[in-house]
Structure 1
Amino acid sequence: MAARIIFNPAAGNGKAVKILESVKPYLRDQDIEIVTTKGPGHATELAREVANEKDLTVISLGGDGTHHEVINGLMPMGKTIFGVIPAGTGNDFVRVLHYPASLEQMVHTALYGPNRWFDLGAIDDQYFLTVAGAGFDAEVAGWANKHKKQGNGTWVFIRGILYNALGYRPQPMTVTIDGHSTTQNTFMIAMGNTQYIAGGMNICPQADPHDGQFEIMWVEGIKPWQILPLLTRVFRGTHVKRSVVKTFPARELTVEGPSGLWVHADGELIGHLPVHVKTIPKAIRVHMGI
């Protein structure tokens, strides 16, 4: 078997089913197994079954939540090569892979393209590909996961931002790096292994999954009327120029705050504060475009 495709039929509000039917002609006469998830967490189990096969490519056909589950099945071994066929709501991970626009070429790249070592983030026993965070972004992620069937793409996240903007109140958070702690009233904190969240928001514009560190983006406790003007800058990544935003690199950090505050990773709610977050350099090989 050259590859295993882990297919999530629930991804993208039905989009994944259509994409699978579209790619099947490109998979004929190839030694490729397609396995279908049956519910939350199943993609992790299906990935774990083959996690020790170093000559195997594992493809996640779904959204960022599916990719999150698959990578958590492949780690901590990290022996297989990973690729994706995007079919979700946000599709943020694939934005850094430089895949071709053509579906046929995209599938070929996901299966056979050049591979490069990627860093991952880790929070306790959870691994993540893109961005983890606490505060406003975690609240929006939770809202978006509940409402994915009511829209597609970035619009779901924009609706979540608008819904949560007026009612959200900043909370005190403490960040500790190398034994040095800083506390401030916080709107949100994001830890970027890659740049994007929420369907293309360039939240951590300097994040690079090949440099062995996160870009941290920490926003102080802003007023409700300041939220939308700041967030309109996020798609271009210019929000980091505002005085209320701090950015800095870190390989490892602890984030503390009220115990009821959610934490997300790859847009999936994974727990509450406090958390210890670290980079896993060169954790897994990923098929990329040129």
Structure 2
Amino acid sequence: MTSYALIYNPHAGHNGATAVAEHIAHRIKAAGHTVINKPTSHAGEATDLAYTAQVDVVVAIGGDGTINEVAAGLVKRRTPPLLGIIPQGTVNNLARVLHVPQLVDLALVNLLEGKPQPLDIGIVNDKVMISTLTLGVLANAAVSVSQKEKQKFGPFVYLARGLHSLGKNQHWPLIIKSAGETWQKDTAFLLVTMTNSVGGFLNFAPQAKPDDGLFHVFVAPRMTWRRTLLLLPYFLTGNFSKLPGMTYFATNELTITSTKAKLRSRIDGDPSTKLPLKMHVAAGKLQVLIKPSILREWANGVKTETSK
């Protein structure tokens, strides 16, 4: 018998998260396990609930923001419970990467039949990162996207708003240090990802794996309208690192500063900490539940990429 804690925002998804949690709880009990529902009442409470939950599996019911808060609580623990995911967000970036089904009942099968798989967590100053961090134009453009627009247009609204902002030729001076090199760049945006997906687009960084122990870093040059128009096909085909003028590298440590720019990062879709940023990867710190058949597909994908 396995014990589960379901953490969710009862007001998320037009107040539908409560109904989803109750449905999941009923099915878990019917399968012979124990479960406790832990709805949140304010921002950040999911972190406290995950930190104190005395169960085998802590389940995040929500989108990347909810998973981020739950992971922030689990990563503080010496021996954290397993992480389960029931996608209920707009983009569900991490769930897509892990091939967790978007339909509730299929996601439940993944939860009940899943096996532990290592999941890297990024530490950014005192914040947690499960998927992506942006600075500059992309982060600023995302601020203007409303919840209603996200629900109506999904990831395409971020892409459209970002392309429009890039054409304004905004740029900032950054000093970027990895474990072995230092770059000083005048950049339109900096993007760091821990997976092959950004904003729900799964071809963004095909070399990135959720358990490879690395940040995959893209530093964009100053963007003209011509270069902005070129960006879209590179973005959608997985060749983003090959965009003319783009700097790409992978590292497990990163420091980002600026002598002039006063930028605020956006982590996993939400506004977060300001410059300077000191980042490192907590490799395999958490274990996430993934169904065995999905694990085989994942392993085959890794072998295919390796053999190329």
TM-score of the superposition, structure 1-length normalised? Answer: 0.88
What is the SS of the residue equivalent to 2:144? helix
Q: 1:14-49, CA deviations, whole angstroms, 9 ceiling, x for partnerless residues?
A: 553564465455234341111111121121121122
* Higher strand content, 1 or 2: 1
* 1:208–1:214 Cα contact (<8 Å) kept: no
Matched, 1:37 2:40: yes
What is the SS of the residue equivalent to 1:34? strand
What is the SS of the residue equivalent to 1:212? coil
> 2:172 matched to which residue of 1?
171
Range moving further from structure 2, 198-207 or 264-273? 198-207
* 1:11–1:89 Cα contact (<8 Å) kept: no
**Structure 2 gap ranges (5+):** 295-308
Counterpart CA distance in 1 for 2:86 and 2:177 is 37
Matched, 1:60 2:60: yes
What is the SS of the residue equivalent to 1:138? helix
Distance verdict in 2 for CA 1:234–1:162, change over 3 Å? closer
Distance verdict in 2 for CA 1:33–1:112, change over 3 Å? farther
Matches of residues 107-118 of structure 1 in structure 2 within 5 Å?
A: 107-118=108-119
Q: CA deviation at 1:287?
A: 0.6
Range moving further from structure 2, 9-18 or 41-50? 9-18
**Structure 1 gap ranges (5+):** none
Matches of residues 122-137 of structure 1 in structure 2 within 5 Å?
A: 122-137=123-138
* 2:264–2:271 Cα contact (<8 Å) kept: yes
* 2:195–2:205 Cα contact (<8 Å) kept: yes
* 1:131–1:195 Cα contact (<8 Å) kept: no
Q: Give the counterpart letter for 1:272 in structure 2.
A: K
Counterpart CA distance in 2 for 1:213 and 1:36 is 33
Indicate which of 246, 249, 274 corresponds to 2:276.
274
Range moving further from structure 2, 128-137 or 163-172? 163-172
- Percent identity of the aligned residues? 26
> 2:149 matched to which residue of 1?
150
* 1:259–1:274 Cα contact (<8 Å) kept: no
Counterpart CA distance in 2 for 1:140 and 1:201 is 20
What is the SS of the residue equivalent to 1:233? helix
What is the SS of the residue equivalent to 1:287? strand
Counterpart CA distance in 1 for 2:112 and 2:44 is 23
Distance verdict in 2 for CA 1:151–1:96, change over 3 Å? closer
Counterpart CA distance in 2 for 1:140 and 1:14 is 27
Counterpart CA distance in 2 for 1:234 and 1:195 is 11
Q: CA deviation at 1:119?
A: 1.2
Q: 1:109-131, CA deviations, whole angstroms, 9 ceiling, x for partnerless residues?
A: 12440111111111111111111
What is the SS of the residue equivalent to 2:90? coil
Counterpart CA distance in 2 for 1:245 and 1:60 is 35
> 1:264 matched to which residue of 2?
266
* 1:58–1:81 Cα contact (<8 Å) kept: yes
RMSD of aligned residue pairs (Cα, Å): 2.4
* 2:10–2:39 Cα contact (<8 Å) kept: yes
Matched, 1:251 2:252: yes
Counterpart CA distance in 2 for 1:103 and 1:216 is 33
Q: 1:239-263, CA deviations, whole angstroms, 9 ceiling, x for partnerless residues?
A: 2222222221111011112442111
Counterpart CA distance in 2 for 1:267 and 1:141 is 8
What is the SS of the residue equivalent to 2:220? strand
Distance verdict in 2 for CA 1:37–1:235, change over 3 Å? farther
Counterpart CA distance in 1 for 2:135 and 2:116 is 31
TM-score of the superposition, structure 2-length normalised? Answer: 0.83
* 2:167–2:224 Cα contact (<8 Å) kept: no
Q: 1:130-159, CA deviations, whole angstroms, 9 ceiling, x for partnerless residues?
A: 112211222133233xx1133412244245
Q: Give the counterpart letter for 1:47 in structure 2.
A: A
Distance verdict in 2 for CA 1:268–1:101, change over 3 Å? closer
Distance verdict in 2 for CA 1:126–1:64, change over 3 Å? same
Matched, 1:197 2:211: no
Counterpart CA distance in 2 for 1:111 and 1:139 is 39
* Higher helix content, 1 or 2: 2
Counterpart CA distance in 1 for 2:89 and 2:266 is 17
